[in-house]
């Protein structure tokens, strides 16, 4: 009887040691260098660099991201659009599909960061004869400090098919100055943006207005920190541009339905990251 008790105690001790040893081994396993994420959002309107992409109508958007501990990243993102049909450039086109990748990180252990990469904007659909393809390829570089960022994008193709005076617009640039300030740990944040678009070979010969412009945005958002709605964000922002119109009330950014895509707008949205 005593021998059996000793055997049981030894077995129990062995099981405890195995359990703790297994847990310790799991705890000592290095974290994976790979991270994956996804996002989806519903917006009252899709605004890109101050101009409407959906003609004042809602947009459903979403994407997938991959990141590596080295700083390398890649991803894809898509949204419904209507501007190519609205401008009469395509007979059928309702989607923007982006592909991007790059390298980002911090300068040492400081709060200063960098990001260099490239993005390709793809628009599947049927374009009208003699209309430039809207697909666009850009490279970019950015620096940041805490909640502030400065990003410079350089276009390698015609800028979304734009040719204000008939010449190619590769070499178009866009400067993005942004701030996203979190209010403590409340989940609330305020954000602001100012952008400067400089279209290469811009001109006023056709419509009497330029394609280049400045745009700005200011908004606020709240992200749920926990619960079943964790990482759900609700927000709103106001956006506008300094695009000028000619005597007929038309600008380069007025579409075929006479909708001014560069007009001011208030956008509300809900998004979720995973």
CA distance 268 to 62: 16
% pLDDT > 70, the chain: 88
- Rounded Cα distance, 52 and 78, in Å: 15
Using CA atoms, how far residue 154 sits from 5, 139, 158, 207, in Å, is 78, 5, 11, 25
In CATH, what class is 33-273? mainly beta
Whether the pLDDT of residue 63 is over 80: the answer is: yes
- Once rounded to an integer, what is the mean pLDDT over residues 19-40? 73
Q: Which residue has the tokens 């991803």?
A: 75
3-state helix, strand, coil in the chain (%, to 5): 10, 50, 40
Distance CA 41, CA 231 (A): 12
Q: Tens digit of pLDDT for each residue in 181-217? A: 999 989 999 999 999 999 999 876 566 678 999 999 9
Per-residue pLDDT for 274 more than 70?
A: yes
Contact assessment for residue 65 and residue 100, using Cβ atoms and an 8 Å cutoff: no
Domain boundaries, the chain: 1-30, 33-273
CA distances 56 to 29, 93, 211, 215, Å, are 51, 17, 20, 17
Distance CA(265)–CA(241), nearest Å, equals 10
Average pLDDT over residues 160-187: 93
Confidence of residue 251 (pLDDT cuts 50, 70, 90): confident
Can you tell me which residue has the tokens 């964790």? 230
Q: Please report the pLDDT score of residue 11 as a whole number.
A: 47
């Amino acid at each position: 009887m005593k021998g059996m008790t000793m055997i049981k105690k030894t077995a129990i001790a062995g099981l405890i040691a195995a359990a703790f040893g297994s847990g310790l081994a799991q705890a000592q396993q290095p974290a994976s260098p790979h991270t994956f994420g996804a996002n989806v959002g519903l917006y009252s309107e899709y605004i890109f660099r101050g101009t409407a992409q959906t003609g004042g109508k809602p947009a459903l958007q979403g994407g997938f991201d991959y990141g590596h501990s080295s700083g390398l990243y890649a991803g894809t993102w898509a949204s419904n659009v209507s501007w190519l049909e609205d401008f009469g450039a395509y007979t059928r086109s309702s989607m923007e599909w982006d592909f991007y990748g790059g390298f980002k990180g911090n300068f040492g252990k400081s709060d200063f960061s960098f990001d260099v990469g490239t993005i390709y904007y793809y628009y599947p659909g049927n374009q009208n004869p003699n209309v430039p393809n809207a697909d666009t390829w850009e490279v970019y570089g950015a620096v940041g400090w805490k909640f502030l960022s400065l990003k410079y994008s350089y276009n390698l193709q015609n800028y979304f098919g734009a040719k204000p005076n008939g010449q190619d617009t590769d070499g178009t640039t866009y400067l993005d100055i942004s701030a996203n300030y979190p209010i403590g740990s409340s989940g609330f944040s305020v954000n602001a943006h100012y952008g400067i678009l400089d279209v290469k070979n811009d001109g006023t010969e056709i419509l009497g207005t330029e394609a280049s412009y400045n745009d700005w945005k200011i908004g606020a958002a709240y992200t749920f920190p926990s619960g079943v709605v964790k990482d759900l964000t609700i927000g709103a922002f106001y956006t506008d541009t300094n695009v000028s119109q000619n005597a007929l009330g038309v600008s380069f950014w007025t579409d075929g339905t006479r909708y001014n895509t560069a007009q001011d707008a208030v956008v509300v949205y809900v998004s979720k990251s995973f």
